Amino acid sequence: MSKRIEAKNVDIYYSKFKAVEDVNMVIEPRAVTAFIGPSGCGKTTFLRTLNRMHEVIPGAYVDGRIDLDGEDLYGPGVDPVNVRRKVGMVFQRPNPFPTMSIKENVLAGLRLNNKSAGTSEQDEIAEKALRGANLWEEVKNRLDLPGSGLSGGQQQRLCIARAIAMSPEVLLMDEPCSALDPISTLAIEDLIQELKATYTIVIVTHNMQQAARVSDTTAFFNIAGTGQPGKLIEMDSTEKIFSTPTVKATEDYITGRFG
């Protein structure tokens, strides 16, 4: 189920503006990789190139190579739609579809992609995904109510269930807890720990304690100044990054001396 990602010489642009420069990294399967760094350093931008969401913005494009188990996501003829089916994503703010019930939200990916499945099979998939997102017990009696009736933390877990119902190879999370209260955050962090047994997980976070708590590997991004492209400064095991980083900038950031 989970695959390894390898980025080679990746440059990311918004029209003429180069937002991220020359990223090379390997993201291991069945592990949590965290991206940290100050605002505007390009960590979210880079995350969005991993499932080709970056190019949704008009004028945005990517140069370089990103391999998913050896297959180039940006190779000729590759359909971004197929990439996104393999690489799921959870956003900063929970965004369940307001016109759909809880169950329809979970099954949205399947239904909208014409994956024909019988009613019982659909029920099974929905239950499995909701259980996977630790939400089943809370919603099993109101599957047909609108998803927007849930609390913020529940909505975010619904969005995670929606993403894992597609059985992706990789799960990208863009600051998934930034809009949540501490208790919901804890629930999501526990969930991430469980999910990493099955998926490759990449998480962007502003919260360094969170990175330290949930990730196995941490990548630190930084920018030299406004208008400069962001760069990958250092990437290593989380333990190493938070105890003995090799680059001074990383140490400054982690110890709170800037950013």
Partner 1 sequence: MSTATLTPKRSASPSNSLTAGQLPAWTTPVVGAASLAVGFLAAWLLTGEIGLGLGVALSALVFLVVMHVASLTIEGGRRATDRLAKHLVVGMFLLALLPLVSVSLTALTNGINRLDPTFFSTSMRNIVGAGGGAAHAIWGTLIITGVAMAISVPIGLLTAVYLAEYGQGKPLARSITFFVDVMTGIPSIVAGLFAYALFGVLFGIGTVNGMGGAVALSVLMIPVVVRSTEELLRIVPNELREASYALGVPKWKTIMRIVIPTAISGIVAGVILALARIIGETAPLMIAAGFTQSLNTNPTSGAMMTLPVFVYDQYARPGVPREPYWDRAWAGALTLILIVMLLNLVGRLIAKRFAPKTGR
Partner 2 sequence: MNKQVQAPHERAAHSDLIPAKPRVGDKVFTGLSTGSGVAILVILAAVAAFLLLRALPALTASADDIAAGGYTSNLAWLDGFWGWVLPLAFGTIWAALGALALAVPVSIGIALFISHYAPRRLAQTLGYVIDLLAAVPSVVYGLWGFFVLAPALGGLHRWLTTYLGWFPLFSGQASGTGRTIFTASIVLAVMILPIITSLCREVFLQTPKLHEEASLALGATRWEMIRMAVFPFARAGIVSAIMLGLGRALGETMAVAMILSGQNRISFEVLTAQNPNTIAANIALSFPEAYDLKINQLIASGLVLFIITLAVNMFARWIVSRRAAFSGAN
Type of residue found at 148: S
Type of residue found at 59: G
State the minimum distance, in angstroms, from the CB of residue 20 to partner 2.
Answer: 14
What is residue 145's three-state secondary structure? coil
Largest Cα–Cα distance of the chain, in whole Å? 57
Task: List the single partner that 63 binds among partner 1, partner 2, none, CB under 5 to 8 Å by kind.
Answer: partner 2
Give the DSSP letter string of 57-88.
STTEEEEEEEEETTEETTSTT--HHHHHHHEE
Type of residue found at 79: D
Task: List the single partner that 115 binds among partner 2, partner 1, none, CB under 5 to 8 Å by kind.
Answer: none
Residue among 61 and 136 whose Cβ is closer to partner 2: 61
Q: What is the H or E stretch that residue 20 is in?
A: strand 17-27
Tell me if 41 sits within 8 A of 230, measured CB to CB.
yes
Tell me if 252 sits within 8 A of 72, measured CB to CB.
no
Kindly state whether residue 183 participates in binding partner 2, applying the rule CB under 8 A. Answer: no
Beta strand 170-174 with 87-90 is parallel
Residue with tokens 């370089």: 64
Task: List the single partner that 121 binds among partner 2, partner 1, none, CB under 5 to 8 Å by kind.
Answer: none
Gyration radius (Cα) of the chain, Å: 18
Residue among 167 and 178 whose Cβ is closer to partner 2: 167
Tell me the window of 35-43, 67-75, 209-217, 244-252 that interacts with partner 2 (CB under 8 A).
67-75
Kindly state whether residue 225 participates in binding partner 2, applying the rule CB under 8 A. Answer: no
Q: Which residues inside 78-97 make contact with partner 2, applying CB under 8 A? A: 78-83, 86
Task: List the single partner that 256 binds among partner 1, partner 2, none, CB under 5 to 8 Å by kind.
Answer: none
Residue among 82 and 255 whose Cβ is closer to partner 2: 82
Kindly state whether residue 170 participates in binding partner 2, applying the rule CB under 8 A. Answer: no
State the minimum distance, in angstroms, from the CB of residue 68 to partner 2.
Answer: 8
State the minimum distance, in angstroms, from the CB of residue 226 to partner 1.
Answer: 24
Residue among 79 and 137 whose Cβ is closer to partner 2: 79
